[in-house]
Amino acid sequence: MRLRLAGAVLLSAVAYYVYLPLPSGVSEPWKLMLLDALFRSCMQASDIAHALGVCHRIHLLSQVVSWVEVIEARSCPAVHVTDSTLGGVPTRVFQPKGGKKLKRGVIYFHGGGWALCSGRMRSYDLLFRKMAEDLDAVIVSVDYRLAPWAVFPEQYYDALAASRAFLSDQVLERYSIDPERVCVSGDSAGANLAAAVTQKFALEDTMRVKFKAQALIYPVMQALDFHTPSYQQNQAVPILYRPIMARFWLQYLGADSSLEPVLLANNHSCLEESSLSAEIRSKLNWTALLPAKHRKHFQPVVKKTGSPGVVKKVPGLLDVRAAPLLAEQGVLGRTPKAYVMTCEFDVLRDDGLMYARRLQDAGVSVTSDHYEDGFHACMVFAFLPMMSSVGQRSMNNYIRWLDQNL
């Protein structure tokens, strides 16, 4: 009897910890709850280790991710998989066996807040094998340096170096890649890097080969407004909570973590901040850039007085290499056709939607692929054991777009 009672109490405690009220409409909520419980457990353990001075919170999280997810390069009958470097940056290359002599090529930057994950994780490995086989394409996954050991602009420089090498005649010839069919892609923080690299190359007239397409999966694009409708609506929706995104930004930009409440209150973008001109503010004015169905009932949070001077302390907040949404219209207009995936239940939804709108306004052909039941990072959960319906749909549509546009 006592054993049964103890079991019931333990089961109730687990259910209480796992259960999380989620918005109606999110895909397979119980799977998301279980996934969130795992992430929360790891993050809470890392916070405790950090507070006790055992190690940096990111170090513990990275160790857990590596232990659970990172796998060795293994070829299979359909795809040859090898570890290599591009421009001095570690990469994993997925080459389809057979098919056409000249292949399509995709260089991909993984997500993880510029601080976590790897292109050698099992979830990415499965995605890239499927892409290589279905598209008859060479997929290059880039392992750029991570925060806090590397901070902006080092991740950007790694992405730039790997991309430049990827587009070189030597590498295109080595992997039999068609120079007319190359794409840059990434998810979340990786999509941020992909967009920044695309903008940089758009300005280089001397490059013989340039990307023909950019595919951005739930991209993070700015750190001046943490009260967009999606940040307000989804601030407590897993797996990317609003405070965690602010923390990622501060780590990436090498800023003091004590500024987290300042960012979350939008005090850093107050009207007294002279560095933020009307032109800059217009580039992230969601009242004009978002359709009414996404604006809903939400109101902008613009403080008259806040914390002027933060932008001077953290100049990366206004650097287009870190915040691609702030790019000039003329630069955006020179970038290639784009695919932008967004999810309704994601704090980054409006970053992606605003970027897609600004690209369209600049004359770029844009496919905006929005998932009404999607959540952040859903596409990498297209495989077992956390296979989700929206993950499979988003992955298949992403690959279909590449097939039709590359």
Instruction: At 287, list the tokens.
Output: 């009242």
Torsion region of 142: left, alpha or beta (phi above 0 gives left; psi -120 to 50 gives alpha) = beta
Share of the chain above pLDDT 70, in %: 96
Q: How far apart are CA 69 and CA 123, in angstroms?
A: 7
CATH 3.90.650.10 is held by the domain 66-222+325-405: no
- SS in 3 state form for 107-140? EEECCCCCCCCCCCEHHHHHHHHHHHHHHCEEEE
For 94-143, write each residue's pLDDT tens digit.
999 988 889 999 999 999 999 999 999 999 999 999 999 999 999 999 99
Torsion region of 88: left, alpha or beta (phi above 0 gives left; psi -120 to 50 gives alpha) = left
| 110: annotated active-site residue | no
For 169-215, write each residue's pLDDT tens digit.
999 999 999 999 999 999 999 999 999 999 999 999 889 999 999 99
Which is the catalytic residue, given 27, 188, 230, 394? 188
pLDDT band at 294 (very low <50, low <70, confident <90, very high): very high
Which is the catalytic residue, given 27, 269, 376, 388? 376
Instruction: State the pLDDT at residue 237.
Output: 93
Q: Across the chain, what does the average pLDDT equal?
A: 93
Residue 209 burial by CB count (10 A; 0-12/13-18/19+): exposed, middle or buried? middle
Does the structure show a pLDDT above 50 at 313? yes
Torsion region of 28: left, alpha or beta (phi above 0 gives left; psi -120 to 50 gives alpha) = left
Instruction: State the pLDDT at residue 7.
Output: 52
Which is the catalytic residue, given 36, 125, 158, 346? 346
Does the structure show a pLDDT above 90 at 9? no
Give the residue from 31, 33, 3, 39 showing the smallest Cα distance to 16: 33
Q: How far apart are CA 259 and CA 255, in angstroms?
A: 8
| 50: annotated active-site residue | no
In which order are the strands placed within the sheet that holds 103-109?
Answer: 79-86, 89-96, 137-142, 103-109, 177-187, 213-217, 337-345, 366-375
* Residue 1 to residues 5, 7, 253, Cα–Cα distance (Å): 6, 10, 56
Instruction: State the pLDDT at residue 16.
Output: 46
DSSP secondary structure string, 285-340?
A: -HHHHS-HHHHTT------SSS-TTHHHH-GGGG-TTT-GGG--HHHHTTSPEEEE
Q: Cα(first)–Cα(last) distance of the chain, in Å?
A: 65
Instruction: At 79, list the tokens.
Output: 């795809």
Does the structure show a pLDDT above 90 at 38? no
Alpha helices in 167-241 (DSSP H): 169-174, 189-202, 229-233
Does the structure show a pLDDT above 60 at 297? yes
Instruction: State the pLDDT at residue 49.
Output: 82
Q: How far apart are CA 47 and CA 45, in angstroms?
A: 5
Residue written as token pair 């920044």: 196
| 376: annotated active-site residue | yes
Please report, as a single letter, which amino acid is at residue 54.
V
